[in-house]
Amino acid sequence: MGTMNLHIYGREYTIACDDGQEAHLGRLGQIVNERVKQLAQQMGRGSESLMLMYAALMLADELEEMRAHSKELRQQLEAVKQQGSIPVDTTKLDEMEAAMADSMNQIAARIEKIAGKLG
């Protein structure tokens, strides 16, 4: 078991961690520190405990949103597996295909016009 120092909101915290987890814990500490800095810029500098509480609430909110999104994606994936095909909105693809066909028709018309002048 090792320890490492995290710097969050101007303070240093000595944290225990499993060997090999130092880099991961360091990245997590950076995320928390960045969030607290953003909050301090938006709200003005507040007490350490208040800023950490706001940061924790914001990170918990993001986590909850990601969990809900992950659950929705898993449900969609399960539906696709059961259907055996992937439902795709082809509207954009159809529009692009029509635009390409129009461009090709215009190019063909130009080629015919040039061929008519040459022949």
- Each residue of 72-104: pLDDT tens digit? 998 988 888 888 766 667 788 788 888 888 888
For residue 119, is pLDDT > 70? no
Same domain, 77 and 95: no
Determine whether 36 is exposed, middle or buried from the number of CB atoms within 10 Å of its CB (0-12, 13-18, 19+).
Answer: buried
**Is the same domain home to 105 and 66?**
no
Note whether 113 and 75 are same-domain residues.
Answer: no
Q: Is pLDDT of 12 > 90?
A: yes
* pLDDT value at residue 36: 93
Range of the domain at 83: 2-87
2-8 and 11-17: which strand pairing? antiparallel
Same domain, 73 and 107: no
- Please check whether residues 44 and 83 belong to one and the same domain: yes
List pLDDT tens digits, range 43-71: 888 888 888 898 999 899 999 999 999 99
d(CA 22, CA 13): 13
Query: How many structural domains comprise the chain?
Result: 2
**pLDDT exceeds 60 at position 8:** yes
Is the same domain home to 83 and 94? Answer: no
Helices (H) and strands (E) in the chain, counts: 3, 2
Q: CA nearest 8: which of 42, 41, 55, 44?
A: 55
17 and 57 share one domain? yes
In this prediction the pTM is 0.59
Same domain? For 115 and 64 the reply is no
On whether the CB atoms of residues 10 and 23 are closer than 8 A, the answer is: no
